[in-house]
Structure 1
């Protein structure tokens, strides 16, 4: 009998890896050829049915004893290794279980199994793990059969006929006989019996001689048995000896990893699916619902996101850092703009991180009418107010025209008569947390719930997005959550976040591990099926690849849209809150100061109006209005020089724009760097309605002129007091200096100099242009006199059209002077300070937590403070234009 050696599982021409050498004589070969033709392929070599893994199902049963365990494990590893090597198209998925050795049975392959997507990045070890695995296999089998749709008899037949394959599953079990759950083993036997149809193949390794699971349960079953360390192929009563010389190299495993990584690289680029030059722009109609092409399925067919109208009114997206969540948001926005005319759909882009939507400020498309980039509570509440305002506007139009919803309204007035609105909110948990923290007059929680319930009819929809969905949804009632029917989950390490995103119950039959193992740019789409079941809405789950739009493509899309639209659309009022940072006032084009700089026109306000800084809301400006009531004065306290001076400077600009206002600003300390800097800034402003008192003598003269308070005539007068904490000290120094001068004069000349006396007397005369009161020559006031004048001015001034703005660096400095009575300053602005100072100033220690190096807190007696961001100081050109316009105004 001639001996032949057949080499199996040769991986490359160099034969760097060999699975086994089979030494079989000619007579045995003849018998094998006749009896096992359907199980073994003989073409100059012997191949186990494993080689047919992607073409038909198989079952391999490896029986061993303890002494042969390592050799049996080597055989198991070789089988898995070979199939993995041939898995060059990603059509085979592996599951590996190891009941007793916690994964060690897989030896060199542990790293590959634990780190690669195609192995599920997991070895199933515990009883509960293996039970879950068997349930998962049963579900996979059911789903695979459903995909055949009665057209194909098996998964293998389907894959032969179709370019896009249904993945085959190869599942290996080590010692599953010790699992201990008879029902699960019976369940597993049933899965194997149907494996020919379902595409599930199995490999078992056992030390139990009486283990029969998989034995003869599949027509393509191979049994390999180890006897005294020697492996045999068992067929009926015959057994055929095999010699194994197995070796798995790290190079071979690395080669498999590289091949599998290549399989995972899917071309998701937008440009691979669309051509911007030939694109059918603005061809869709959103009247019934929004249909947004955003991803493609396993068959590379484009899948649409459906929101509003017949579909769920709102959508929710989650994904951890690096999952591709931002790309998906931009894809939805870009595809909406490409497919819908700006008269048909408008977008509100809200970005709490202020990093995602800034590109639409720089290169602005006509569809986007609101851009919000702030994270303050005031901003969140103003967003709800803005949405409610638009909701009420639409509702009133529907009532006036006897229509019930957007669709009915458009039937009356045309497709472009009212736009559908998509409100995209990134990191939306900031919104719901702001609502939870708010304790003011409005019930924003109820307002948001009602909006979620009723916005569908108004043609308005939310797309909520966050990494922390659970935190965001905690701010919503159950009724509000139920309105968010469209769910999108990208990769997330936290199972609870995935469950919340997809709105799954704890006992939901859904494999959450699959989502944990998603790649960047992949998403599970829970889509509502329009047909309703008896239990309510039905849903289907789709695993998709998101279309990737690069920054360059995004710019091209916006440019193409702008070129095609030109000005042929209904222009709406744009609302842009650019970022959390400070900015120049002229960046808000509709701000009164900006309008004045642009065309020297100023709309008069009925009340005295101050512009201390930018709002952290979606409003164009933040204003403080003072009326003729006691206490309508403003107190500003803070050590941040830049913020404090900006507030004063822009208040001054706003006051002078109104030619009915006069401003007297008193800077007391000429030795202090802050005072010197403020003086140098404000003296650039040229107006005959501005008077600057600089130094003690000029400030004291002004105060003396106010000893007898009279109503301000021909308009309002505003006094800005800067550095009053130094008043007492400067009075003391001035008195000493006066005494020294007097002593020096007395010593130098015994004669009376009438001209010198006259000059000294004249310096005491009040030079104020607004008051005819002249203090008596030589009249001397002490600190208490000045303090009384200031207190009277604060208490009675507003009722006489004289208002006060007092500025202090610290609360301690204010208290020390004893000049300020807080009741006389109803309006207060605070910069960063201690919680104790915050409590003294605002009556709440928590108010100041809203202030930082860019933000100030405004208080007007309510429980809820407002935040502002002082503007950046303007440049010379701004000042020049302001002065030029002041000259025109003053004639």
Structure 2
């Protein structure tokens, strides 16, 4: 590197300085030739004092040497001549000395201490010699002859001035003056450059501005200097404007304190410096970060904001969160630098080593411009900045900190609060309201002029800059750049270890994550937008690409119902389950299925005499034995469900304990670990030894990795403190007998998922599914009959699929069936099966109850129609008993009518249906029939008002004696006297009254004992109103059994007659509901509220199959024994037959849809997300 102008200035001035200094000495000596010996003695005394201090320093320095010798194998050192302005730094030696390992025989810090201490000793000895010589000269001066001395001095002065005048006009000085002028014009962008010219190599220097340097060689030369330097020479002050050149390939520290009124001046000065950095650095080898915690905008950039967010100038953070992110990114990059540095101590040392042979591998430098330091930075931001500042030399970071004086504080110095090591070399610039000065390493302030950029950046420069591309030598982390997805995978039948490509290290090397042995289960944690989903898709792509469908079976579950939906559209043949739901029963079903698989494999392994999956040759089996790879995304949701069931917690623990050997592998994924593992016992967590942590809080990452003290190295702590998105920290074991390791990787990704989807399609088209297992055909695979559960969609009721599922169900449960069962399907179960049936048999209570509030009427209609179609497809018959004004019935009457259904509408028709059905039941007539009741609660109310259409007495209506006698005689009763006739008349009226009162009492919720008391009191009142007490001496009691028998006889007689139309059919209605299912008459009642069941005179016990959409917690407990139905999402129905409990999503039917879901004219399901 060429010498800087400041160094050249020192060299030029040093030649003249000796003469100038001598001239000044002579002039001073002449003027003070008569000073007394006392003054000379004082000077000697001061110099002697300096020598004493030197002796003290030497004593300390030699102490460090002796300390270092104890841990050195060799004391051969090379001492270096100390540069100008060098200062002994005892603190540095002290810090290094504390780092010496006493147990080491040749400690590197001991070497540092010894070498530096030797250099310091040489420096101090030189100073001591210099001061001693000066004392001797002073003493000689005391004894000189003043007169002789004066003449000698005057002669010497004349000769020196003549020599100096000659040197001032020499060629060497002319060249220097031209260099100063050209440099000023090069660094100062008074006009915008018109084009960005990318540098192949970094230039030697950059410069923020120039300071006024003394240049008073000789009075006669001033005009000459002015002519050469023009505006860069101050003739009155005899000073030149000397550029402050900073090596462009080294780190620097600049501290700036600015008065409030000069902030725009400072901004323009820093804009010019940024242009220096951009135009002087090789493209891609310099990155500038502007951090403005005062304004949080790009106003400080001026027209340079057009270069923001580019290869050289980062985006300015617009809020504190983005500021933190930018600082974390910088700190995180230190880990990459550490890996590349290897044994080198710093970026500068590394770059020097590779500059000649491999300059393209040089590490880029970073420049931070920090506005508002230190007041505007607190908490984590301050902590991160201090970490950067403390390590700036190692990681190639230069920083410029700008502190603003508050108004009224101009002239007051503010502490920069920088690390002491950084301030030692800092360039300090003070900008007050009236002047600007610069200080170098504790030197005196010198007048300073910023190179300010007052122009607007030209469009030509911006365009050429933006068009410039940085050629990367690395492959990167884009998946398709490393692995081909356009060719068919080279599948094999042999067992292959599950090792999947997933990320790259800082050296651009691809790495694989293993799911073998102790690493069979992994836990992946990452906050939102951390890249967790990207990693999941990368791993799935690896499984699909590298393993035959008969060798790997994928179980994909996403409890937020978002991530794996794309695999339903592009379904790989490897998939057995895709579960996109969050229901608790699905969680339990998943664990049950895994337990079932585990037990099957335990029996198989025992039969084969094997202990591990990799010991079995798949070609020797009669069916595939794949690795079951289970990926559970958003496991924290699943974990909450498991946590509520100790049984399932233990089952999952058991699966994890035995799964590794059986070929069951897991990847748990969640946004949190601390709150996401409630469903895992401590034993289960211990089985999950492989941990993968992505961006999140430090606490969350630490909890996920569960690091021991030995793993919490400084490097790992740095990774944890600033882990950016798409990076992963992986804790794993490379063997059972080896300790865990922690590594950091950049996750691979797909820029576009189309190539992956095309690969899946290509695999599906080139391979064929078979029912059996043919290991000799590499292009075949056993059909897994995948089950896809999508909690965000609805399926249609397809008759062919229904009948196929019924056939399969009958085949599986043949031994447990009688043959007369009817299978009913209501919707898509939220379980790991395609269908789930209610199996109705010819027993009591084989009825169905559906509770659906008004908001769920569309879904209720769907459940009803699904049940109707289920019966019709099995050659059953269907009736609908409906109240004509019921909202659900009115809305879907035409839909029901399209099917082969016999509809009885309103009370007259319903009563006729009840009469006929009761007769069929009495005649023991068998059937296979479903009777759907809609709005029946209203018809039951109308039964009371239908009593007048019969011969029954109602209220206080009087019947003639003849009518009463005739009615009794027709029934075989003997009525002889008037008194007996009155008794019969009263009895008939009371019977009808009693029936009505008893029904009302039941509907109001009275107990049997309360009803008896109520009826007794009502009878007394009725007798008084009827006037029978005068005739009878005691009450006429009619028992329940007698009453029921009379009503039964009456109804039987009615059935035999041609009577039709409405009547009080309440008792008959209850009778047919209770007795019908024995003969194959199954009832399905739809109600909007559970309380309506009492209005119908029915009990929930009459219905074995109960269904309900969301309802109150109290109603849910009354119907299901718990509050499960109160927690249902919208459009989800709960099913319970006392044996099985599950929820389901209703089917879509033509004419019945909701929320934008429906079936079009072609029978295709249309969703609200379907594109027109």
Fold conserved (TM > 0.5)?
yes
Contact 1:314 / 1:485 at 8 angstroms: preserved in 2?
A: yes
CA distance in 1, matches of 2:400, 2:1115: 73
Matches within 5 A, 1:287-436: 287=495, 289-309=497-517, 311-321=519-529, 323-410=530-617, 413=620, 417-436=624-643
Q: What SS class does the counterpart of residue 473 from structure 1 fall into?
A: coil
Structure 2 residues without counterparts, runs of 5 or longer: 1-167, 169-173, 195-205, 218-240, 404-412, 770-779, 952-1050, 1153-1158, 1164-1172
Select 2:865's aligned residue among 639, 649, 658.
Answer: 649
Taking structure 1 as reference, are residues 255 and 319 closer, same or farther at Cα in structure 2, changes over 3 Å only? farther
Deviation string for 1:354-413 (max 9, x for gaps)?
443333223322122211222322222222222222222222222221222221234894
Q: Deviation at 1:289?
A: 3.5
Q: Deviation at 1:216?
A: 11
Q: What SS class does the counterpart of residue 1094 from structure 2 fall into?
A: helix
Taking structure 1 as reference, are residues 530 and 77 closer, same or farther at Cα in structure 2, changes over 3 Å only? farther
Contact 2:932 / 2:1084 at 8 angstroms: preserved in 1?
A: yes
Matches within 5 A, 1:177-216: 199=396
Match of 1:747 in 2: none
Bigger CA drift: 636-645 or 102-111? 102-111
Match of 1:38 in 2: none
CA distance in 2, matches of 1:381, 1:212: 58
Asked if 1:871 is matched to 2:1147, the reply is yes
CA distance in 1, matches of 2:905, 2:752: 58
Match of 1:750 in 2: none
Contact 2:578 / 2:789 at 8 angstroms: preserved in 1?
A: yes
Asked if 1:273 is matched to 2:493, the reply is no
Q: What SS class does the counterpart of residue 541 from structure 1 fall into?
A: strand
Contact 2:691 / 2:705 at 8 angstroms: preserved in 1?
A: yes
Higher helix share: 2
CA distance in 1, matches of 2:387, 2:723: 30
Bigger CA drift: 649-658 or 201-210? 201-210
Contact 2:586 / 2:832 at 8 angstroms: preserved in 1?
A: yes
Select 1:831's aligned residue among 1109, 1116, 1120.
Answer: 1109
Contact 1:97 / 1:103 at 8 angstroms: preserved in 2?
A: no
Match of 2:684 in 1: 480
Deviation string for 1:17-74 (max 9, x for gaps)?
983246668899xxxxxxxxxxxxxxxx98766443xx4x444465979999979998
Match of 1:528 in 2: 732
Contact 1:491 / 1:516 at 8 angstroms: preserved in 2?
A: no
Taking structure 1 as reference, are residues 346 and 594 closer, same or farther at Cα in structure 2, changes over 3 Å only? closer
Asked if 1:821 is matched to 2:1099, the reply is yes
Select 2:1071's aligned residue among 792, 804, 807.
Answer: 792
Taking structure 1 as reference, are residues 200 and 19 closer, same or farther at Cα in structure 2, changes over 3 Å only? closer
CA distance in 2, matches of 1:472, 1:445: 14
Contact 2:690 / 2:732 at 8 angstroms: preserved in 1?
A: yes
Contact 1:663 / 1:720 at 8 angstroms: preserved in 2?
A: no
Match of 2:741 in 1: 538
Match of 1:584 in 2: 796
Matches within 5 A, 1:126-275: 144=337, 147-150=340-343, 154-157=349-352, 160=355, 161=358, 163=360, 166=363, 168=365, 199=396, 223=427, 229=435, 231=437, 234=440, 242-247=448-453, 269-275=478-484
Taking structure 1 as reference, are residues 11 and 809 closer, same or farther at Cα in structure 2, changes over 3 Å only? same
CA distance in 2, matches of 1:694, 1:245: 95
Structure 1 residues without counterparts, runs of 5 or longer: 29-44, 740-770, 883-891
Q: Structure 1 length as normaliser, TM-score?
A: 0.72
Match of 1:768 in 2: none
CA distance in 2, matches of 1:449, 1:261: 57
CA distance in 1, matches of 2:1141, 2:570: 35
Deviation string for 1:203-223 (max 9, x for gaps)?
6789589999777999xx575
CA distance in 2, matches of 1:47, 1:414: 83
Q: What SS class does the counterpart of residue 316 from structure 1 fall into?
A: strand
Select 2:1134's aligned residue among 857, 864, 869.
Answer: 857
Contact 1:88 / 1:263 at 8 angstroms: preserved in 2?
A: no
CA distance in 2, matches of 1:108, 1:503: 44
CA distance in 1, matches of 2:296, 2:931: 83
Q: What SS class does the counterpart of residue 542 from structure 2 fall into?
A: helix
Taking structure 1 as reference, are residues 698 and 63 closer, same or farther at Cα in structure 2, changes over 3 Å only? closer
Q: Deviation at 1:92?
A: 5.4
Matches within 5 A, 1:498-509: 498-503=701-706
CA distance in 1, matches of 2:827, 2:656: 33
Q: How many residues align?
A: 796
Q: What SS class does the counterpart of residue 449 from structure 2 fall into?
A: coil
Q: Structure 2 length as normaliser, TM-score?
A: 0.56
Match of 2:122 in 1: none
Q: What SS class does the counterpart of residue 741 from structure 2 fall into?
A: strand
Deviation string for 1:195-241 (max 9, x for gaps)?
776645566789589999777999xx575576995545648989986
Select 1:726's aligned residue among 938, 942, 962.
Answer: 938
Q: What SS class does the counterpart of residue 734 from structure 2 fall into?
A: strand
CA distance in 2, matches of 1:619, 1:189: 56
Match of 1:765 in 2: none
Taking structure 1 as reference, are residues 846 and 145 closer, same or farther at Cα in structure 2, changes over 3 Å only? closer
Asked if 1:803 is matched to 2:1052, the reply is no
Deviation string for 1:533-588 (max 9, x for gaps)?
88x4222223x15222413223321122224434422322322223432211339x
Contact 2:211 / 2:244 at 8 angstroms: preserved in 1?
A: no
Match of 2:825 in 1: 611
Match of 2:782 in 1: 570
Q: What SS class does the counterpart of residue 585 from structure 1 fall into?
A: coil
Match of 1:547 in 2: 749
Taking structure 1 as reference, are residues 508 and 826 closer, same or farther at Cα in structure 2, changes over 3 Å only? farther
Contact 1:435 / 1:445 at 8 angstroms: preserved in 2?
A: yes
Q: What SS class does the counterpart of residue 556 from structure 1 fall into?
A: helix
Match of 1:767 in 2: none
Contact 1:144 / 1:155 at 8 angstroms: preserved in 2?
A: no
Taking structure 1 as reference, are residues 399 and 77 closer, same or farther at Cα in structure 2, changes over 3 Å only? farther
Match of 1:456 in 2: 660
CA distance in 2, matches of 1:780, 1:216: 106
